């Protein structure tokens, strides 16, 4: 609504209003008195409409202004128009704010806005979850009082946000939260936090892994180096010593090769694949080969080996399944004392198929069992590294089984023996042979 309200227009209105009083005053001979009366009426009229405006502005809930004649209609309309305009602006601002908050809630990171003095302005749900903030109850509170951690406190106080800070979540110690702070507007800051627990774990694993591999390679390399130095002095080395050195060097290089092969196998297994149904693994044949290997390995120890194998073939990855079974059989042969018994079974249990290796060897203390499948974990590092083990065998088994939707189970009693076993799901059994009668080998 655009109306032209000029000074001339206002003056013309005043003149038009006073003309009848002027004529009347002139006719009755009381010109000034009549004009004064007219002007007094005008003041009362203005006062009345001014009162109505005040009432409407302060008391009325109605958005529409009261109707008013003359110049007051311009004032009422003008105010109404401004109110509408600011209401419209407020609404679009609120919409914008809502959209911004929705976007901030959708962020995969926690977000907190705070003032230069450290008081909390706003936080999204994830921030409330990570730091235990309550919204809106905590609005205006000091961030350093809400997130109580000495490192966070000095980070905020220092005001140097060029680097990120990682602290444990005040809600759960096991969560590591990385915090970054960015200046947001003149006196506001945006704090973005994300969960880096997994990243940190991976980083630790990588560091441990490199340390372990280096450690494992160092021993055989030192032995090799020693013998090489000794062999350098050909004239002073007795032939018997040379022979011993060569045998030792052969053993150590076998050990290194074994380690590198197992590492490569593990890294190959890390790539996920979906072709588990592509090949059928003839487990009875694989176990026949493993039996021969085990017999050769255990020849000096006079172990009693029993293989009880049902003719069941399964879908799967032949090299992975073979390697899982081989590691379990080799471990039993390696750790069982001379004259001990080992029993390997492959049989149907309800609708699944079970592979089990049982021995009456030294057994394993309960506390070690959950850690056996960790890379490089050995129950007795000193004793077992002499046995040629790398501590990678059971982690290879674990990973190989994951490719077949299965996992390793261990029952063991120190002094009595161990049973390592796993079951493959019914869906992996090749029906044609699975239905055949069990056959003792």
| Chain contacts with ligand ADP (rule: CB under 6 A) | 327, 331-332, 335, 359, 361-362, 364, 372, 377-380, 384, 389-394, 418
- Residue closer to ligand ADP, measured from CB, 151 or 380: 380
303 and 341 Cβ atoms separated by less than 8 Å = yes
Separation of alpha carbons 330 and 333, rounded Å: 5
- Residue closer to ligand ADP, measured from CB, 15 or 416: 416
Cβ-based neighbour number of residue 243 at 10 Å: 10
Q: Which two tokens stand for residue 54?
A: 């005040």
First to last CA, the chain: 101
364 and 418 Cβ atoms separated by less than 8 Å = yes
Q: Which two tokens stand for residue 114?
A: 């705070």
- Residue closer to ligand ADP, measured from CB, 111 or 372: 372
The single-letter DSSP state of residue 161 is: -
Q: Is the dihedral of CA 386, 392, 395, 401 positive or negative?
A: negative
Compute the least distance from the CB of residue 414 to ligand ADP, in Å. 9
Could you tell me which residues come within 8 angstroms of residue 26 by beta carbon, excluding any fewer than 6 positions away? none
Compute the least distance from the CB of residue 292 to ligand ADP, in Å. 20
Q: Could you tell me what percentage of the chain is helix, strand and coil, using 3-state DSSP and rounding each to the nearest 5?
A: 55, 15, 30
Compute the least distance from the CB of residue 413 to ligand ADP, in Å. 11
- Residue closer to ligand ADP, measured from CB, 110 or 342: 342
Compute the least distance from the CB of residue 335 to ligand ADP, in Å. 4
Compute the least distance from the CB of residue 249 to ligand ADP, in Å. 21
Compute the least distance from the CB of residue 141 to ligand ADP, in Å. 52
- Residue closer to ligand ADP, measured from CB, 322 or 378: 378
Instruction: List 120's β-bridge partners, or say none.
Output: 114
- Residue closer to ligand ADP, measured from CB, 81 or 257: 257
């Amino acid at each position: 609504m655009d109306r032209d309200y000029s000074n001339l227009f206002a003056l013309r209105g005043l003149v038009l209003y006073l003309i009848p009083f002027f004529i009347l005053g002139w006719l009755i001979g009381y010109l000034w008195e009549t004009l004064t009366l007219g002007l007094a009426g005008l003041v009362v009229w203005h006062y009345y409409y001014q009162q109505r405006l005040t009432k409407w502005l302060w008391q009325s809930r109605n958005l529409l202004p009261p109707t008013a004649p003359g110049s007051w209609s311009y004032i009422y309309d003008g105010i109404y128009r401004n109110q509408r305009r600011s209401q419209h602006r407020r609404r679009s601002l609120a919409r914008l704010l809502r959209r911004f908050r929705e976007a901030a809630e959708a962020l995969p990171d926690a977000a907190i806005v705070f003032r230069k003095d450290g008081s909390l302005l706003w936080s999204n749900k994830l921030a409330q979850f990570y730091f235990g903030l309550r919204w809106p109850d905590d609005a205006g509170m000091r961030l350093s009082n809400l997130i109580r951690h000495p490192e966070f406190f000095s980070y905020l106080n220092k005001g140097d946000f060029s680097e990120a800070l990682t602290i444990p979540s005040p809600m759960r110690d096991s969560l590591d939260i990385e915090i970054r702070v960015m200046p947001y507007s003149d006196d506001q800051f945006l704090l973005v936090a994300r969960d880096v627990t997994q990243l940190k774990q991976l980083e630790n694993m990588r560091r441990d892994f490199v340390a372990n591999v280096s450690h494992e390679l160092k021993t055989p390399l030192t032995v090799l180096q020693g013998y090489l130095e000794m062999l350098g002095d050909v004239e002073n080395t007795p032939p018997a010593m040379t022979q011993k050195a060569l045998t030792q060097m052969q053993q150590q290089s076998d050990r290194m090769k074994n380690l590198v092969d197992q590492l490569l196998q593990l890294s190959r297994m890390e790539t996920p694949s979906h072709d588990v149904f592509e090949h059928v693994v003839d487990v009875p044949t694989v176990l026949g080969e493993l039996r021969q290997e085990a017999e050769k390995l255990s020849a000096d120890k006079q172990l009693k080996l029993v293989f009880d194998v049902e003719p069941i073939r399964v879908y799967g990855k032949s090299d992975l399944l073979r390697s899982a079974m081989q590691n379990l059989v080799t471990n039993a042969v390696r750790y069982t004392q001379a004259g001990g018994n080992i029993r390997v079974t492959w049989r149907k249990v309800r609708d699944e198929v079970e592979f089990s290796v049982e021995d009456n060897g030294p057994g394993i203390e309960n506390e070690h069992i959950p850690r056996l499948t960790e890379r490089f974990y050995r129950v007795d590092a000193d004793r077992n590294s002499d046995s040629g083990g790398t501590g990678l065998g059971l982690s290879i088994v674990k990973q190989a089984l994951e490719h077949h939707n299965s996992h390793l189970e261990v029952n063991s009693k120190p002094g009595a023996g161990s049973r390592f076993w796993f079951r493959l799901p019914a869906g992996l059994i090749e029906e044609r042979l699975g239905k055949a009668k069990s056959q003792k080998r």
